[in-house]
Homo-oligomer: A and B are copies of this chain.
């Protein structure tokens, strides 16, 4: 039973409800007449508890009550419309980045190639300066304008979707910094990719749409601000991530699976369809743009900056004997991937602790140094390599050797005799854009193009460059470097297979592909999504079992050493991710032990403002239980009040009152729901910034309308692993630990939650007709039929508690 004063407050609430002029949702208004129902949350169309920091207070319910069925339909429509916009936006961003990168790289390489006809030193100078300029533009944007744009952004997005808001990751400036920073860093030839940043870009676009534009840059629009709950915003960001992957790899299904497997923490099947829609929109946008570019209007883009390798002309089948070398690729991938994670972890840690503390200047110098080294190695090493004679080509082969000037493809003529048919195999992979290099490594019908020596040199150099580049202050993805590294050793293994398994129809390119999959698996530990992405970029379903074999091995090997790249990085950046499963030690702890050292600070229902201020100043708790003394003098916990909501109340002062008793309904609540919405980008209020006069401090606040009346509770001696499951599965922020109950009021079982309309009509009718009124009575004949049905009955009896 609820105590008297609480009952009194509910009375108040009911009076307020009945005063609402615009209450066009009859069930809400009438339901409150029942008394306790007022405390039920009323979130439109949703599983509101699957939400961290849910607003369930009275003001929110009031806001909800104002909204009718029309609003629900409108919000569904807006959700789909936003999914469309996210798809278009992310697709456009991907095309813009690719266009820019390809054109910058194209200019750079064509300029360099034309200069080296005369002087290799001048060529090197131009090449280096071009790279340096691009990289500097990138690092300058990141350090001075959008610091959150550095890195891949995937760990931060993962954290956001897990419930941890890292500051600034979804701002408009981060979006801009990410797009232009990517162009600079990728165009500047660093050992990094643009795929991770594209995921972040998609997430930023989604988040900005969700909050209705950027408030700081006055780009917001009121009619777009439909999504005020964290859950809706998180759903949008999930769509954005999928769109990013779909745009980066042109892999719509892979995008959905990536979002599902890698980034989200809570997944609902309703969301899946919308996410898939977003990905498909991206695919259409990118495809249309690429068709448009085929006409040659996009400068150097024509050759395609998107990673898509159609190796359908390659190896189609595989024999049993090939499984051994493929397994070896898996093992190598696991080892090198785990090593990569470990090295980057050490270096990032060292960099953060010693280097980046010294300010932006150091960051800029560091990136410039890395760029100089990269330019030096990628230009210098091919120079040292002697050229090989071109192989004899088949008559109708599309591949030329050496490739004609100004085109893209295998067999690069670099520092070779001009009249002889020669090519430089190291330049083919090193002195090239990474996308082209990958295409060259994956290429079929080019057996023995590379010497083992060149591949090994490239592997060692590029691996080191990738490790050093990781963690610098530029936007950086790890997909493309991973694919580069993996395909190099994959191709190496493929060369040995070609040499020793002579009679098989083996393509080195297939092994390169498997190598790429193995390294990504060993480093990022993605599984299904990576498989599907690999299949989609190669457009060859037949390789799926092989890719899967390689991934199984490399992930298992990698897991023996450390965690995945994103998890390691998230931990290093201090993003405390809640994993799906409780830790082992939690089995041996109880809920009480988990909160042993806490001093619980209570509020009573009506509190003095001065008390609130002093409590908020004296501790950092984010939530406080609210108690009330009942008729019989016993204390009752009546709910939870959030620090942020208290701060809103203190700042606005509108709900201060003189009397120390619960408000009696004569004063309707003055706040509307949007006051309590947590801002996405800013840090929110703090107690220090709120100024109250002495008069204010002497007044009271009735917390009744603002508290969350029913947070989830657990008994004190529940195992902590069960508590963890509750917390994690429902996405909670606070759980009350309470003493064991003295008695049980009832047991809720499946049957109690499956009451059908007809079955419970008798009981419901007695109590409230208003609740019944809203339930559509569909197919009464069948309902009748079911109650007669023996199987149903027996099942219901079985599941009866």
What residue in chain B is nearest A757 (Cβ atoms)?
Answer: B585
Please determine whether A270 and B718 come into contact, CB atoms closer than 8 angstroms: no
Please determine whether B740 and A747 come into contact, CB atoms closer than 8 angstroms: no
Chain A 585-636 interface residues, beta-carbon cutoff 8 Å to B: 585-598, 600, 602, 620-623, 625, 627, 634-636
Most chain B CB within 10 A, of A586, A621, A725, A740, is at A740
Please determine whether A41 and B587 come into contact, CB atoms closer than 8 angstroms: yes
- Give, as a whole number of angstroms, the nearest-CB distance from A596 to chain B: 7
In Å, the complex CA distance between A727 and B589 comes to 23
- A39 at the B interface (CB under 8 A): yes
Across-interface contacts of A2 in B (CB, < 8 A): 717, 740
What residue in chain B is nearest A588 (Cβ atoms)?
Answer: B31
- A373 at the B interface (CB under 8 A): no
Please determine whether A748 and B730 come into contact, CB atoms closer than 8 angstroms: no
The stretch that binds B, out of A187-195, A360-368, A410-418, A526-534, is A526-534
The answer to whether A749 and B763 touch (CB under 8 A), given A40-B590, A743-B637, A801-B621, is: no
Of the candidates B260, B276, B725, B740, which one forms a contact with A730 in the assembled complex, judged by CB atoms under 8 Å apart? Answer: B725
- A737 at the B interface (CB under 8 A): yes
Q: Residue-by-residue, is A446-461 near B (CB-CB < 8 Å gives 1, otherwise 0)?
A: 0000000000000000
Across-interface contacts of A645 in B (CB, < 8 A): none
In Å, the complex CA distance between A748 and B600 comes to 11
Please determine whether A722 and B578 come into contact, CB atoms closer than 8 angstroms: no
- Give, as a whole number of angstroms, the nearest-CB distance from A584 to chain B: 6
Chain A 687-739 interface residues, beta-carbon cutoff 8 Å to B: 709-710, 712-730, 733-739
Across-interface contacts of A152 in B (CB, < 8 A): none
- For chain A, the count of residues having a C-beta within 8 Å of the partner chain is 157
- A392 at the B interface (CB under 8 A): no
Chain A 750-798 interface residues, beta-carbon cutoff 8 Å to B: 750-755, 763, 767-768, 771-772, 774-775, 782, 785-786, 789, 791-793, 795-798
Of the candidates B276, B713, B742, B768, which one forms a contact with A635 in the assembled complex, judged by CB atoms under 8 Å apart? Answer: B742
In Å, the complex CA distance between A25 and B656 comes to 59
Of the candidates B42, B623, B737, B791, which one forms a contact with A745 in the assembled complex, judged by CB atoms under 8 Å apart? Answer: B737
In Å, the complex CA distance between A48 and B582 comes to 10
Chain A 340-376 interface residues, beta-carbon cutoff 8 Å to B: 345, 349, 352-353
- Give, as a whole number of angstroms, the nearest-CB distance from A624 to chain B: 8
Chain A 228-280 interface residues, beta-carbon cutoff 8 Å to B: 252-253, 256, 260-261, 267-270, 272-273, 276-277, 280
Across-interface contacts of A801 in B (CB, < 8 A): 598, 621-623, 733-734
Across-interface contacts of A730 in B (CB, < 8 A): 725-726, 729-730
The answer to whether A272 and B782 touch (CB under 8 A), given A49-B722, A598-B747, A741-B736, is: no
Of the candidates B34, B593, B741, B792, which one forms a contact with A637 in the assembled complex, judged by CB atoms under 8 Å apart? Answer: B741
Across-interface contacts of A48 in B (CB, < 8 A): 721-722
Across-interface contacts of A572 in B (CB, < 8 A): 782, 786
- A653 at the B interface (CB under 8 A): no
Across-interface contacts of A41 in B (CB, < 8 A): 587, 719, 721-722
What residue in chain B is nearest A549 (Cβ atoms)?
Answer: B280
What residue in chain B is nearest A623 (Cβ atoms)?
Answer: B801
In Å, the complex CA distance between A656 and B253 comes to 59
Across-interface contacts of A623 in B (CB, < 8 A): 747, 749, 801
In Å, the complex CA distance between A155 and B791 comes to 14
Please determine whether A592 and B799 come into contact, CB atoms closer than 8 angstroms: no
Please determine whether A587 and B40 come into contact, CB atoms closer than 8 angstroms: yes
What residue in chain B is nearest A796 (Cβ atoms)?
Answer: B576
Of the candidates B737, B742, B752, B795, which one forms a contact with A748 in the assembled complex, judged by CB atoms under 8 Å apart? Answer: B737
The answer to whether A593 and B749 touch (CB under 8 A), given A252-B544, A548-B280, A717-B36, is: no
Q: Residue-by-residue, is A38-54 near B (CB-CB < 8 Å gives 1, otherwise 0)?
A: 01111001111110000
In Å, the complex CA distance between A165 and B46 comes to 28
Across-interface contacts of A272 in B (CB, < 8 A): 261, 527-528
Please determine whether B746 and A598 come into contact, CB atoms closer than 8 angstroms: yes
Please determine whether A753 and B775 come into contact, CB atoms closer than 8 angstroms: no
- A800 at the B interface (CB under 8 A): yes
Please determine whether B584 and A775 come into contact, CB atoms closer than 8 angstroms: yes
- A37 at the B interface (CB under 8 A): yes
Most chain B CB within 10 A, of A627, A719, A728, A793, is at A719
The 10 A-B residue pairs with the shortest CB-CB distance in the complex, in nearest-first order: A595-B746, A574-B792, A40-B719, A738-B741, A31-B588, A710-B718, A574-B791, A273-B527, A735-B748, A625-B744
Supply 18 further A-B pairs (C-beta < 8 A) apart from A49-B722, A276-B527.
A39-B717, A48-B721, A261-B272, A272-B527, A353-B785, A574-B792, A576-B754, A594-B748, A594-B755, A598-B746, A622-B749, A622-B800, A710-B719, A710-B722, A713-B714, A714-B748, A734-B747, A738-B745
